Chain A
Amino acid sequence: NAGVTQTPKFRILKIGQSMTLQCTQDMNHNYMYWYRQDPGMGLKLIYYSVGAGITDKGEVPNGYNVSRSTTEDFPLRLELAAPSQTSVYFCASSPGLAGGHTSTDTQYFGPGTRLTVL
């Protein structure tokens, strides 16, 4: 079991460029999440998905897009990169619980992608 994998590990972008951060999980989890973590801060939720074809915004969605065509993959797209998007990006997944009882659902995080926009 690889768990949650993210590529690339590091990336430097120029202002205005675009890129896709890849996230894959092999645990057959229904729920997937994208967070960003700025230096010295906690994680902020960008987008999440409760299943293939279903996505929703988190706290800080502006400047990002997501799609979920399969259970395993949840790519995050940055359009027109800006210096404010310099951050470490974490993808996570969780199984979700029957009956929508998500209070005890545990999230499993990937190793992160460190992105710098210059």
Chain B
Amino acid sequence: DAKTTQPNSMESNEEEPVHLPCNHSTISGTDYIHWYRQLPSQGPEYVIHGLTSNVNNRMASLAIAEDRKSSTLILHRATLRDAAVYYCILRASGTYKYIFGTGTRLKVLA
């Protein structure tokens, strides 16, 4: 299974943009990049996913490097409710499972 590398923790000020990086140098051509987040004492929730092109949704944007060896989750205006652990996960075509790493713990400062 392809692995991802994320910083253990990051901090951001409220209402400022946050860029959460993820390295996945062993990604294969059919692996999708998924992001989930886990709020305190809750199960993970889906944030966004992509394959090659940058993606936007109501929660965040996903910027994927041209060589696909890294990606960045962008929260445009961090709020206190965005404080969570963010997981970057590779999902191979035809597989059912997610392989979770330890994620990045985002702290948002008021």
Contact = CB atoms under 8 A, between A and B. Distances in A.
A34 to B, nearest CB: 11
A106 B103 CA distance: 18
Nearest to A31: B96
14 contacts: A35-B100, A42-B101, A48-B97, A90-B44, A92-B44, A102-B91, A103-B51, A103-B92, A105-B96, A106-B46, A106-B49, A107-B36, A112-B41, A112-B43
A74 interface: no
A44 B100 contact: yes
Interface in B84-106: 87, 91-103
A111 B102 CA distance: 19
Contacts of A104: 32, 49, 91
Given A90-B43, A107-B46, A42 B87 contact: yes
A58 B30 CA distance: 21
Interface residues of A, number: 29
Task: Specify the main secondary structure of chain B where it touches its partner.
Answer: loop
Interface of B: 30-32, 36, 41-46, 49, 51, 87, 91-103
A48 B41 CA distance: 23
A109 B44 contact: yes
Q: Which of B30, B43, B92, B102 is most buried by chain A, counting CB atoms within 10 A of its CB? A: B43
A103 B29 CA distance: 12
A90 B39 CA distance: 14
A45 B98 contact: yes
Interface string A31-64: 1010100001111110010100000001100000
Closest 5 CB pairs between A and B? Answer: A109-B43, A42-B100, A103-B32, A43-B100, A103-B93
Interface in A100-118: 100-112
A92 B96 contact: no
